Amino acid sequence: MKLLLTGGCGFIGSAVVRHLLRHTDHVIINVDKMTYAASEEALEEGRTHNRHVLVKADIADAAAMRQVFGTYDPDAVMHLAAESHVDRSIDGPADFVQTNVVGTFILLEAARTHYERMTGARKAAFRFHHVSTDEVFGALDHGDPPFTETTPYDPRSPYSASKAASDHLVRAWSHTYKLPTLVSNTCNNYGPWQFPEKLIPLVTLNALEGKELPVYGDGSNMRDWLFVEDHAEALVRVIEHGAPGETYAIGARQPRTNLQVVKTICALLDARLPDPAGPRERLIRFVTDRPGHDFRYEIDPSRTEAALSWKAPHDFDKGLARTIDWYLANKSWWEGVRAGRYAGQRLGTTQEKAA
């Protein structure tokens, strides 16, 4: 398969690139705008691999997208490119509407034109896989059942509203134009190469440096946590084996409160690099909650597990230990990020996922 992958230099996208190169024979056309959170280093062997091509372009640029489809003639599309940081969406929602809504529309139109020109077996096999988030479903309270593929939409932030809009566009192009689309919704991802504005790397690096560990509210907000390499494996299963028109809820069955996550990071670091000043839990500081902070997200992946013969291999403790060890071994990368190597970065006190 020749796969057009958008956002392949981002946190999740780069994990997909690495998985595809290591476990399949697919060719990857990686389209990435290279915003502040993108990293060519995260491609690892993909930077020089003969089955990977990086095209630096904006999905909201219609002419550029037409050129990409015309030049590379892909067999399928996996659409990951998105603005994904909730705090940033609150401060500046325009970029989220432009990339997540307008960009998805432009990509759908380019894909539709490409699909309508295809014939025979290639046309029958073509897929457009749109990767989304569980945040489009709103928030859960204590005792509510986890989200499933049929949970009604109830987005609460500019980020989740923009992703909900893009989900609806994808399904509309399926019904109206018969474009064979797939949608997947996932929970919080974590793992190597995550930009340090996200909760787990932010807390890890602050704790290493003896800085305060900011936790929103009282830390009781809860998320389901999925190791990024497990998510990459699931996404490839969706594009290879998913049924057009279907939705796949991808989760790990690993819910934790934000405070539990922070305390686990402290314990893992204390075991590896004890701080002479004492246990790192002393650095925890509760800060003013952000506007509209959803209480709980959690996904029931039962249907996806059965349909795709997939289940997340990592439990949270094992995946988090691997993540901590990676950050300890890759100091030069995150020091460069924190020094502002990526233009426009703003490291905040977020508790949210990457996309």
Which of the following is catalytic: 83, 135, 167, 305? 135
- How far apart (Å, rounded) are the C-alpha atoms in residues 213 and 199? 10
Residue with tokens 């959170």: 37
Which of the following is catalytic: 58, 75, 83, 159? 159
Residues in the chain: 355
Strand partners, 119: none
Which of the following is catalytic: 87, 134, 294, 305? 134
Q: 133 Cβ partners below 8 Å, 6+ apart? A: 84, 160, 163, 185, 186, 353, 355
Which residue from 190, 196, 192 is spatially nearest to 336, judged by alpha carbons?
A: 196
- How far apart (Å, rounded) are the C-alpha atoms in residues 103 and 242? 24
Active site residue 190: no
Residue with tokens 């904006």: 58
Interhelix angle 158-177/103-117, rounded to 10 degrees, is 20
Q: 139 Cβ partners below 8 Å, 6+ apart? A: 154, 156, 294, 295, 296, 297
- With residue 167 as reference, give the H or E element that holds it: helix 158-177
Q: Which two tokens stand for residue 184?
A: 């997947």
With beta carbons less than 8 A apart as the criterion, state whether 184 and 133 touch.
no
- How far apart (Å, rounded) are the C-alpha atoms in residues 98 and 89? 12
Active site residue 209: no
Active site residue 134: yes
Question: What positions carry a catalytic annotation?
Answer: 134-135, 159
